[in-house]
Structure 1
Amino acid sequence: MTIKTTHVGSLPRSKAVTDLVFAAERGEAIDGAEFDRVIGAAVDDIVARQVAAGIDLVSDGEMSKISYATYIKDRITGFDGDSPRTPPADLEDFPGFLTRQAASGGTPTYRRPKCVGPVAPKTLAPLEADLAHMAAAMASHAPAGGFMNAASPGVIALFQPNEHYATQDDYLEALAEAMRPEYEAIVAAGLILQLDSPDLGLGRHMMYKGRTDAEYLTLIGGHVDVLNHALRNVDASRVRMHVCWGNYEGPHTHDVEMGVILPTLMNAKPAGLLFETSNPRHQHDWNYFAEMIAIIPDDKILIPGVIDSTTNFVEHPRVVAERIERFVGIVGAERVIAGTDCGFSTFAGFGAVDPDIVWAKLKTLSEGAALASERLA
């Protein structure tokens, strides 16, 4: 049995790509043909580099997006202005560290428009361009498979608060319907749809901090319900969901335990689940999967992060193999794919890991998966 490899999605963008994306964000006049050319070339290069690193299931690296959640303002209606920044609860406990992070550029700055009007589909043109670039790159470099990221209704609500709808439930339902055409189009194009859903982990110490675990579970249960409804026309086997507690170096002392949220995650429709298990706060989480195996459906595919996305240490292949083997021992090799904790460039122009080291880490990911596969043979 060969263990396949993948990652969470975002990858380092070149200066040319970052400059263009931020110019568009500022509302500057952009030559559409030049933007398409630069992004298309970047996607081709990023797919080629993933294949060379031994990654089986590749992405477009989110080249055209300024961030994984706020990009939606160009695709659905109802968003404008900017939203106030609220730090995670763990950083509030360590204000000196929070100040140091902000002063050192550790906190990316970009506009997070809030919901100020009715949310509805606006245009699929940016998505169609992304799909065309991905199709061309995959045809040229022939990876084993490809996926494309899309924001979940819950993460959109996390970073872009509601100032229009009467209730949060109304807002989430509107987001789900507005994003549904994007979800369905990605699957129709032959790609795996990846829903980015850090609201199910990070939300505990951001949008819902101060709530009890019981209250939190009720709230994110609603997030899962609207996500499932948005996926009603999509085969679960063509969808995977990424859950995390925030892709930043910090104490993470308020992270909700995986054991608390795992039953809720298992109610989500996507067959694949990507989650953190490499950073120091979540290396123990494999125990919850072993202890709670009875609630994990037989068709769920586990995609644990076996390399960290916030440190420039390059993991040893043996460490990667050991992390993979823990999950193989729980659900079997046919239901494990080796992944990363989070993306490496969650925001354009920002990443804790040096771009050259990103590729070294992805190479060690594939080497570790190959070692685990040899041991399983």
Structure 2
Amino acid sequence: MTTIATTHVGSLPRTQKVVDFIFARERGEDYDTAAFDAAMTEAVDETVRRQVEAGVDIVSDGETSKISYATYVKDRYTGFSGDSPRNAPADLKQFPTFLERLAREGGTPKYARPMCTGEVRSKGQGELEKDIANLKVAMAAHGAERGFMNAASPGVISLFLQNQHYPSREAYLAALADAMRAEYETIVAAGLDLQLDCPDLALSRHMLFADLSDAEFVRIAESHVEALNHALENVPQDSVRVHICWGNYEGPHVCDIDMAAVFPVLMKAKARYLLFETSNPRHAHEWTVFRDRKAEIPDDRVLVPGVVDTTTNFVEHPELVAQRLERFTGIVGAERVIAGSDCGFGTFAGFGAVDPEIAYAKLGALAAGARLASDRL
């Protein structure tokens, strides 16, 4: 019998102790680095324990030590200073009263987004190696056989940390690809899967490129994938996961580009595992894109649909999870489907729409649904 494996997108809720340390560093305050490291080790151990307890097969470190999935690079690479302009997604601008409510209720996370003002170069892999060690020790302690670690794609860095140094967007992407290469290779060399977070392939359509046509945006997205594939030149495709999304926030999402438009771009990424949203109400119907364009899905790709939502506190029924999975096993076969989440549960340190305990309940429902679907194969 084929058993459908389980995973998620990467980030998980952080403890207040971890959040306090991260923001002390973010604000440039003095803090005890040994105590910081100890807190991260302790938190990753607990994060992995809870994933295993919930039934997750392919675990992560929860992105515990990072301020966010994209802007963490400012702490590990040179060339960033000042502040980037904030640009609300186009859908929120259409509903200004809702945007005001989000801001008033603390629904917009506060963290530094510096500009690229100089040459981007790695400061070394020391912080990454600590993350890797924490994850591997926790996996060994709790019996997790397979793990993955997130890394920002060149395109998503260019979305949140905008260019004020390189002569063009293309030059900036090329520099980012060259700089990030060692990070990607280090993760895979450690025996972990590498997950590239690529919301730039969809989210940036209604953030940075709202004035373009869909066709013009798709050409930009293709250039982002080309930069990413260049950075992955020395990384085996079988070890790579790519995640695409339209923004991990509860909102109208009426400006989201259709999956059908970016589908060919996603298929060009040098990645075996493709993670995407299929649970939220704006994209749940788009499983039919994969059904109708099955011939365009390379035979070596594994689909990792999001079968639980990450912006609401509803805990999905396992039967619903199973039904969502069966849509995709019916397209590519059960051996090429893994159960995932729409996005992360802790995209930004100290910020998350889903209660931490409910996040793990959702992972438990994900695992229960995967077992149901596996039993029915």
Same fold (TM over 0.5): yes
Partner of 2:52 in structure 1? Answer: 51
Partner of 2:181 in structure 1? Answer: 180
1:111 aligns with 2:112: yes
1:236 aligns with 2:237: yes
Partner of 2:92 in structure 1? Answer: 91
**Cα distance in 1, alignment partners of residues 145 and 291 from structure 2:** 29
Q: AA paired with 1:56? A: D
**Cα distance in 2, alignment partners of residues 14 and 236 from structure 1:** 34
Partner of 1:366 in structure 2? Answer: 367
Q: AA paired with 1:292? A: R
- Pairwise CA distance, 1:339: 0.2
Partner of 1:17 in structure 2? Answer: 18
- Pairwise CA distance, 1:144: 3.1
Partner of 1:135 in structure 2? Answer: 136
- Pairwise CA distance, 1:335: 0.4
Q: AA paired with 2:55? A: G
Query: What CA deviation, in whole Å up to 9, does each residue of 1:116-173 have, x standing for no partner?
Result: 0011112211101101111110110111310000000000000010000110000000
- Pairwise CA distance, 1:32: 1.5
Q: AA paired with 2:287? A: W
- Pairwise CA distance, 1:206: 0.7
* Partner SS, residue 212 of structure 2: coil
- Pairwise CA distance, 1:243: 0.3
Partner of 2:192 in structure 1? Answer: 191
Alignment size in residue pairs = 376
**After the TM superposition, which residues 1-377 of structure 1 pair with which residues of structure 2 at under 5 Å, given as runs?**
1-376=2-377
**Cα distance in 2, alignment partners of residues 30 and 127 from structure 1:** 19
**Cα distance in 1, alignment partners of residues 150 and 191 from structure 2:** 13
* Partner SS, residue 74 of structure 2: helix
**Cα distance in 2, alignment partners of residues 232 and 142 from structure 1:** 32
- Pairwise CA distance, 1:77: 1.0
Which has the higher mean CA deviation after the structures are superposed, 309-318 or 206-215?
Answer: 206-215
* Partner SS, residue 4 of structure 1: coil
Please tell me whether the aligned partners of residues 44 and 138 of structure 2 are also in contact (alpha carbons under 8 angstroms): yes
* Partner SS, residue 5 of structure 1: coil
Q: AA paired with 1:219? A: I
Query: What CA deviation, in whole Å up to 9, does each residue of 1:211-239 have, x standing for no partner?
Result: 01110111110000010000000000000
**Cα distance in 2, alignment partners of residues 50 and 97 from structure 1:** 34
Q: AA paired with 2:93? A: E
* Partner SS, residue 303 of structure 2: strand
**Cα distance in 1, alignment partners of residues 356 and 373 from structure 2:** 26
How high is the TM-score relative to the length of structure 2?
A: 0.99
Query: What CA deviation, in whole Å up to 9, does each residue of 1:89-122 have, x standing for no partner?
Result: 1011111110011101111111111100011112
- Pairwise CA distance, 1:277: 0.2
**Cα distance in 2, alignment partners of residues 190 and 365 from structure 1:** 25
* Partner SS, residue 338 of structure 1: coil
Query: What CA deviation, in whole Å up to 9, does each residue of 1:298-333 have, x standing for no partner?
Result: 000100000000010000000000000000000000
Q: AA paired with 2:61? A: D
Query: What CA deviation, in whole Å up to 9, does each residue of 1:239-292 have, x standing for no partner?
Result: 000000000000000100000100111011011110000000000110000011
Identity %: 62
**Cα distance in 1, alignment partners of residues 68 and 268 from structure 2:** 27
* Partner SS, residue 149 of structure 1: strand
Query: What CA deviation, in whole Å up to 9, does each residue of 1:6-39 have, x standing for no partner?
Result: 0000000000000000001111112111111000
**Cα distance in 1, alignment partners of residues 267 and 86 from structure 2:** 31
Q: AA paired with 1:4? A: A
How high is the TM-score relative to the length of structure 1?
A: 0.99
Q: Where does structure 1 lack aligned partners over 5 or more consecutive residues?
A: none
Which has the higher mean CA deviation after the structures are superposed, 366-375 or 76-85?
Answer: 76-85
**Cα distance in 1, alignment partners of residues 209 and 301 from structure 2:** 27
**Cα distance in 2, alignment partners of residues 362 and 135 from structure 1:** 21
**Cα distance in 1, alignment partners of residues 309 and 248 from structure 2:** 10
Q: AA paired with 2:178? A: E
What's the RMSD between the two structures over aligned residues?
0.6
Q: AA paired with 2:282? A: R
* Partner SS, residue 350 of structure 2: coil
* Partner SS, residue 63 of structure 2: coil
Superposition misfits of 4+ residues, deviation over 3 angstroms: none
Please tell me whether the aligned partners of residues 139 and 145 of structure 2 are also in contact (alpha carbons under 8 angstroms): no
